[in-house]
Amino acid sequence: MITAITLQYIFLGLISLFFVGAIGSLLFRKNDAVTSLWSNSFAILASLAGLLFATLTYLYGHSLSFSLGAIALPIFSLSFHIDKLSAFFIFTISLISLLCSIYAIGYVTHFYKKYDLGVLGFFYHAFILGMLLVVSSSNGLFFLIAWELMSLASYFLVIYDRNDPSNIKAGFLYLVMTHAGTALILIALLLLYKFTGSFDFETIASLSGAIPLSIKNSVFILAVIGFGTKSGIVPFHIWLPSAHPAAPSHVSALMSGVMIKTGIYMMIRVFLYMLWPVPTWWGLTILVLGSISSLLGVLYALTEHDIKRLLAYHSIENIGIILLGLGSALTFTSLGLPSLALLGLTAALFHTLNHATFKSLLFLSAGWVASQTHTKNMEEYGGLIKYMPYTALFFLIASMAISALPPFNGFFSEWLTFQSLFLGITLLSLYTKWIFVLAAGSLAFTGGLALACFVKAFGITFLARPRSEEIAHTKESSFFPRLSMGLLALLCLLFGIFSGSLTWLLQTTGKDFVAFKNTASFVSVSLNQQVLIGHNFSFISLASLFILFMFIILLVIYITRFVINKNQKISMGTTWDCGTDLTGRMEISATGFSRSVIVIFKGILRPSIQHNVEYHDSESRYLAKSRSITLGIKDIYQSYFYQPLHRAINTVSVRIKSIQSGNINAYILYIFMALVVALFFVL
């Protein structure tokens, strides 16, 4: 019999395991091997406890609320509220943490004698613990403490490889952006406190009717910017492409796979739990932001040659896809269509889980490639499939999943999102219908560009000939990294095949909200994993598709091997090379692959092209020694918004600095003037 007390003890146990793991990492820091074993072992145990806790919470069937310790001030308490939504995110965080920790056992060996592994282990545990506390806390001030713990721990993990100046710069940008977002979140919580008299989430939800609509709208804008900054929504994304590649690869997988989803969790918690019912324009705004983020994210990914920056931009794209599901859910909720809203929320949650699995797999496999080749530049790769066949296979599976190819998991969550958007196009009024049309169009366009991007990423990295001498010295991943990546690859397949069962489970998550209580499901699932939307609106079964694909593959193998090639002789010969030696530099490059897309979207991407020609001497102008073309892409938001804003702030700061005269009388005058202004507003 599962009881609330049992669940509390398990939750306290997993918190304790992370705490012990963090402290032990510092105590054993003088021995790298012992530190790595201690840190990752406790992270694995704590993650297993998190998976157990989340599973039992689902089976328990009721929300779990409790407080810790004797701290219970009028506005602050260490209080937790864990419903099925929290349990879902705890499950996702714990799952990815478990597999990343297994991977780290073999991966962090290249940090031995180079950096302090005790520091890495300490902040790694603090980071995961912070994420778990964020999705389980029910007091606004306690939530901010957990949010800050998660942010600061991830900052120190980003700058862990401190010998690279670009990592320090990326960490500073991340720190500035995340604290700017936190400031806006704090203002939103203070506004809610002003009209409800409490920081407790449940109390705010029960008194949301007393909050004026203008204040709700202000909280919505502040929350979208604050949580959107952490999630990497365009245009608040500028920190993400720099910070995620800078961190160690298993940390990059956690940041991209689950950390940015904490912002999504809080949007769902605030909009559908605390401030429900919501105006229609909230959902439409989220749809527009999701469309822009998904499209620009994949466009910038296509232009990247740094493999981890490419994956980071795809996180922006997939956050946009999640927002399309959430935006449709908010819109349907505001229009009194809870069944359709539940479909949109289910699509958003399903893609949250799917993105966590395939994006983590991509970062882990790309991280192993980068650690072996000592570069993240794809132009220096090529032919790695011969040296890393397992890593290449795992990267290929993740590429197929993120490109939404059946029967892998990414296909089904995007299919659900499409159904939600198509229903909006079918049922809603004209002006809202056109926003859904644009959202569906952007999702379709994003899917095609994502497929092209991962054809580039896989082909340039693993196929053809090596482009550098480092390739010949690379080694396949060791046992623990291979085990971790293999399990993630298996999950990408299983989550696709059993997508029907997962859809049913995720629908029960949404039904915990007041907005969806006693809502008839618009989605039905049969025993053979067939999913039916509405009354024959659409249906699909990835299990049947998997069986069909396996049959086709076996048929092709049989025909190729036993029919076509039965009486044929295969001869091997030298490739005709036009009289020159074939080298890796003759292959298509990452720049050449994406150039046509860059030219098509040059109005958005604003490319800069620089031609460099070197001659043998000043007299042989027509006989060039070498030619090179450098293609550069600028982030339009950074170029036309953040950089001008930065210059303006610097200019104002320099002028304001002049008031610091060093005269004590002047400072007393400033204090007096501030006091007068404060009294004026109070009176």
Take residue 537 and report the two structure tokens written for it: 């609106």
Residue-wise over 415-454: b if at least 16 C-beta within 10 A, else e? bbbbbbbbbbeeebeeebeebbeebbebbeebbebbbbbb
Task: Return the minimum-mean-pLDDT range out of 140-154, 503-517, 569-583.
Answer: 569-583
Provide the edge-to-edge strand list for the sheet that holds 523-525. 523-525, 530-533, 538-541
* Neighbour tally for 24: CB within 10 Å: 20
Element housing 153 (H / E):
helix 140-158
Task: Return the minimum-mean-pLDDT range out of 170-174, 571-575, 668-672.
Answer: 571-575
pLDDT per position as a tens digit, 492-524: 999 998 888 898 889 888 887 877 777 777 787
Query: Does 622 score more than 90 pLDDT?
Result: no
Bridging pattern class, strands 77-82 and 523-525: unpaired
pLDDT per position as a tens digit, 550-569: 888 888 888 877 776 666 67
* Neighbour tally for 30: CB within 10 Å: 10
pLDDT per position as a tens digit, 343-398: 999 999 999 999 999 999 999 999 999 999 988 888 889 889 999 999 999 999 99
Average pLDDT, the chain: 87
Query: For residue 10, what are the contacts with CB-CB under 8 A and spacing of at least 6?
Result: 49, 52, 53, 56
Q: Under a CB-based contact definition with an 8 Å cutoff, are residues 134 and 265 in contact? A: yes
Query: Does 660 score more than 70 pLDDT?
Result: yes
Query: Does 632 score more than 70 pLDDT?
Result: no
Query: Does 609 score more than 70 pLDDT?
Result: no
> What are the backbone dihedrals phi and psi of residue 517, each rounded to the nearest 5 degrees, phi first?
-65, 135
Which pLDDT score, from 0 to 100, does residue 545 have? 77
Average pLDDT over residues 256-284: 92
Which pLDDT score, from 0 to 100, does residue 71 have? 58
Query: Does 70 score more than 60 pLDDT?
Result: no
| DSSP conformation letters of 376-396 | -BGGG---GGGT-HHHHHHHH
Which is higher by pLDDT, 655 or 249? 249
pLDDT per position as a tens digit, 80-98: 999 999 999 999 999 999 9
Element housing 70 (H / E):
strand 64-72
Which pLDDT score, from 0 to 100, does residue 217 have? 94
Distance CA 335, CA 270 (A): 18
Distance CA 432, CA 460 (A): 42
Which pLDDT score, from 0 to 100, does residue 523 have? 80
Average pLDDT over residues 618-633: 62
Query: Does 201 score more than 80 pLDDT?
Result: yes
Which pLDDT score, from 0 to 100, does residue 565 have? 66
Query: Does 11 score more than 80 pLDDT?
Result: yes
> SS3 string of 241-298?
HHHHHHCCHHHHHHHHHHHCHHHHHHHHHHHHHHCCCCCHHHHHHHHHHHHHHHHHHH
Query: For residue 231, what are the contacts with CB-CB under 8 A and spacing of at least 6?
Result: 260, 261, 263, 264, 267, 319
Which pLDDT score, from 0 to 100, does residue 516 have? 78
Query: Does 625 score more than 90 pLDDT?
Result: no
Residue-wise over 121-133: b if at least 16 C-beta within 10 A, else e? bbbbbbbbbbbbb
Q: Under a CB-based contact definition with an 8 Å cutoff, are residues 8 and 66 in contact? A: yes
Distance CA 595, CA 345 (A): 37
At 682, the pLDDT band (50, 70, 90 cuts) reads low
At 535, the pLDDT band (50, 70, 90 cuts) reads confident
